Amino acid sequence: MSDIKSQWDLEMALQVIQQETVTSEVWADAARWLLLYGPPRIQEILRQASSIATQNCFPRLQSAGYTDEGEPCYDIRELATTLGLTEQETIAKMQELERQQGRTQLFTEDAIRKVQ
């Protein structure tokens, strides 16, 4: 696992996301760090922004449920179709995220709270 936690700190991540001249990759890394390790209020703001962006970019993709932390979970088949990938490719990408971030990305149906 790459230690993303030690690669950033709060001050550095906040400075990066405010810059207009950083690459999209660096900006995404800073935003990812804030989502994982930033203060709860910043995490909530970024989750809301992510939800709005997902709804705007992928209006047909609907959450199948949520984690206990409030993060949306998607059916892997629907996610793969939306992204134009196979289920196996999507699972592999999710497993890579798990490896990089050291946190679960793939959940069983009984591990999520269903949307009512």
- CA 59 vs CA 24, 48, 86, 102, 103: distances in Å: 23, 15, 20, 29, 27
Cβ contacts of residue 65 below 8 Å, gap of 6+?
A: 72, 73, 109, 112, 113, 114, 115
> What residue ranges do the domains of the chain occupy?
1-57, 61-116
The pLDDT value recorded for residue 7 is 86
- What order of strands is seen across the sheet that includes strand 72-73? 72-73, 65-66, 113-114
Task: Write 38-46 long-range contacts (CB < 8 A, 24+).
Answer: 38/10, 38/13, 39/10
pTM of the model: 0.74
pLDDT at 114: 77
Residue 21: predicted pLDDT: 93
pLDDT in tens, the chain (116 residues): 456 778 899 999 999 999 989 999 999 999 989 998 999 999 999 989 999 999 999 999 998 888 887 788 899 999 999 999 999 999 999 999 888 888 888 888 888 887 66
